[in-house]
Structures are given as C-alpha cells and as structure tokens.
A and B are shown apart, each in its own frame.
Chain A
Amino acid sequence: MIGRLVKGLILVALVVAAAGWVLTRPATVEPERFATLTGDAAAGEAVFWAGGCASCHTESSATDRTLLTGGYRIESDFGTFVAPNISPDPEHGIGGWSLTDFANAMLEGTTPEGAHYFPSFPYGSYRLMADQDVADLWAYLQTLPPSDRPSVPHELSLPFNLRMAVGGWKVLYLDRGLVGPGDGAQLERGRYLVEALGHCAECHTPRDAFGGLDTTRWMAGAPNPSGRGRIPGLTPAQLTWSEGDIAYYLETGFTPDFDSAGGGMASVVKNLANLTPEDRTAIAAYLKALPAAE
C-alpha cells in the first residue's frame, strides 16, 4: 500500500516536472517564418533608434552610439544585469548569428544555444515587433562596426541567477498584448513605438513582486530600481504637457520651461532625436490618449 502510494507520488511528480519543463522551456520561432524575409538596413536604422538599443549596448560615455560594446549596468532588486556586446564581432558580439537566431532573441527571449535570456533584455516588449522590423534591424546591425570587447557576466545571486526559472516568469508574463489606445493610424503608430520598440513601459509601469509589469497601472510611474527617486508617470493627469511639448522634449531634451532631461531619459532623447517628427508626435499623441491610472 505504502509502496503504491510512493510510486503514485513519484509518477505525479514526474508528470508535473515534465509538464513544467514543456511549459517553461525556451521557445523558438518557426525557421520558415523568417526564411523569406529580406532585411532593409536603411529601414533598420529607424528601428534601431526607436528601439533604444544604444542606451544599454553602448557605454554611457560613448560618442559613437553605434559601437555596440555593451557594458551598461542595470541595477535591480534581483542583482545587476550587464548588457552584452551585440556588435557584429563574430567572437564577442553576435556576428555569427543567423536572422532566425536574432528573431529568437528579440521575440522569444531565447539564446542561440536554446537558453532563456533574463528579461532585463526587454523582449517582453520587443516580442510585439513586426517580423519585417526584426529583419530590417538585423540587416542594419550587420553594417555597424565590430567591437572585440568581451561581454561581462551579470552579477546575480541565487535564485535569480537560474535561467531555468525565467521559463516560469515567461509563462506568467509573456502573454501580454498591446495595452494602450490605438484607434486610428497615428495612435496605432504611437502605441507600436511606445509599447513594442521604445519599451517605455519597462521603466514607466510599476512591477509586481515577481517583476512582471502591472498592466492595470500602465505607464503610471514606478520606483526607480537603480536608486532613489521615481520614474515619473506619463498618463495625462500626471504629465500635463501639451502634445507639442512632449514631442519637442523627445527631440531636444528640453522641458517646457527649458530645463533639460537628465538620467536615463537623456540617453533616450539621444535615440529619439533620430526619429521622424511624425513618429515623435505619434508617441506624444499616444501618451495624451492614455487612460487615467494611479
């Protein structure tokens, strides 16, 4: 009787473990999905700036924002993440990757070796990207200068350094679709720029205890994970600037009273300054259309 119970328990445990493994294993895109796509490097440059790659994958002091050495340190409750080299260097960067490898990273958070990336790499947002934008960005990245600087490992402690655990995180949080308003071409574009490429919510939306975005308080501001102060909320009740004020800030860093952006936003502005005026206005229109949140 006891023997049967133990056997039964072992069986249940095995089934749970197997189900857990199936549910949480790193996902990959169907290779055919990207086989027919041809990337356009010129279009990819626009994706690069809107995606903010340079903010983490260049040194903050770098004057060349296309030398993607990595090195930016993201301080968080879970430890310090260090952005890796994603230059086209075949050994230290991602020069040896295929487009499908790149798509797996951007859309599924999966490494070419089939492991999970930590969500400090904001694939939770990038997974909403259009396939063509992924292909274009990949084509553009090939044109950038290589860097032979080795990537630096993350500084995480148990249990947050377990990549397998990220699989569970993905099951919990990776089913998020588009959240904000997208009626009409301009809002739809603004929403895509903010929620998919710009990954603004990664900082401007609060997170729950396990680090998932709280979509009920979308863009309502959050504690600054890397120190004192708060990341400001951007809903219309919180950010009272006009649409034109916001677009001008994203272009120049100047607030309506001509203070100038600091901290992480100074770096974001350096990226967004390269967007078209229409795209910056679309971002501003989206922010002005956000529902109230606290």
Chain B
Amino acid sequence: MSFTRSLIAGAVVATLVAPAAFAGGHGGNPAVKARQSHMQLYAHNLGVIGGMARGNVEYDAEAAQAAADNLVLLTQVSQRSYWVPGTSNADLGEETRLLPALFEDGGFAKAVEIGGNLAAAAEGLAAVASDGQAALGPALGPVGAQCGACHEAFQQPNN
C-alpha cells in the first residue's frame, strides 16, 4: 500500500515538475538560442587567441592554429535558420538583443557583406596563427572590426 502510494506520489510529482523542467531546458526561441550558441563559440575561440595576443597566456602555436581554424569553420556554417524575421528584440523583448534593423531596408544584405568580410578576416588570422605570438594581434584586429561592424548595426548594446 505504502509502496503504491509512493509510486503515485512520485508520478504526481513527476507530472508537475516535468513541464517546468522541459521549459527550463528547451524553452526560448530556437533561432535565438542557436545564434547565441554560435556567438559563444566565436567568443571562446577568440578568447584562446586573444589571451595569447595580449600576453596573458603563453603562446602555443598548435592551440592558436586550432582556434583560428575553428573560427574559419564557424564563418562557413550556414546561419540561414538563425536570423529569421519575427525574432528581433521588437518581437521577443529581452530574450534577444537583435535589432529589427536586420530585417529592414538593406539590413540583411549588409549583414551578409559583413559575414563575408568576417570570413576573409578569419582566414587571414588562420594563415598566420602558427607564425608566432607577435602575428596574432595584428591579424585579430580585422576580425574584431567585423564583430563590431555587425554589432554596431544590429545589436542593442548591453545595459
């Protein structure tokens, strides 16, 4: 009896908790989550190279090259399902910092152009990542410039 009771109680608790857990783990707009994850991968790999460029981390040619190669790959991933109309901060509020400007006149074409520039800058970085610590900073600059160009046009600044 008591065993049956605890089973029932367990089932009731599970029924109550599961939707909340599901919402916590899988809620949110999938496009927003995908692009934020993509940005995190950029940031992580930039951090590996940036730490060496700044002299905070000892230079390691293999690690620098691997991170730079990752960046090149990331610029080649198709993002067409990330940046879909209806997912700006005008639509979703604080869930995203994407400005509606991306979907307004010429916005998308501009973003695509910046994406192309970013790919070229990442290739430039990958071409010199094994050449020593001194090569990193100057090659990282053009990458950062494209990050900034896109954020300036399409991202609501942090509070």
Chain A residues in the interface with B (C-beta under 8 A):
60-61, 224, 228-230, 232, 244, 248, 252-254, 257-267, 269-270, 273
Contact = CB atoms under 8 A, between A and B. Distances in A.
A262 B50 contact: no
Q: Interface centre among B147, B148, B159, by most A CB within 10 Å?
A: B148
B58 interface: no
18 contacts: A61-B110, A61-B153, A224-B157, A228-B156, A229-B156, A229-B158, A230-B159, A232-B159, A252-B50, A252-B141, A252-B144, A257-B43, A258-B50, A260-B144, A260-B151, A262-B155, A266-B152, A270-B148
A248 B54 contact: yes
B149 interface: yes
Given A60-B152, A252-B144, A258-B50, A264 B43 contact: no
B140 interface: yes
A123 to B, nearest CB: 25
| Chain B interface helix/strand/loop/mixed | helix
Contacts, number: 72
Contacts of B132: none
A98 B100 CA distance: 44
Nearest to A249: B144
Contacts of B145: 253, 270
A262 B140 contact: no
Nearest to A230: B159
B131 to A, nearest CB: 19
A262 B158 CA distance: 8
B47 interface: yes
Given A229-B159, A248-B54, A266 B43 contact: no
B46 interface: yes
A229 B100 CA distance: 16
Contacts of A260: 144, 147-148, 151
Contacts of B158: 229, 232, 259, 262
A60 B8 CA distance: 63
A259 B43 contact: yes
A267 B140 CA distance: 18
A292 B129 CA distance: 41
Nearest to B156: A229
Q: Interface centre among A60, A229, A257, A260, by most B CB within 10 Å?
A: A260
A1 B79 CA distance: 86
Nearest to A247: B54
Contacts of B157: 224, 229, 261-265
A232 B44 CA distance: 24
Given A230-B159, A244-B54, A262 B152 contact: yes
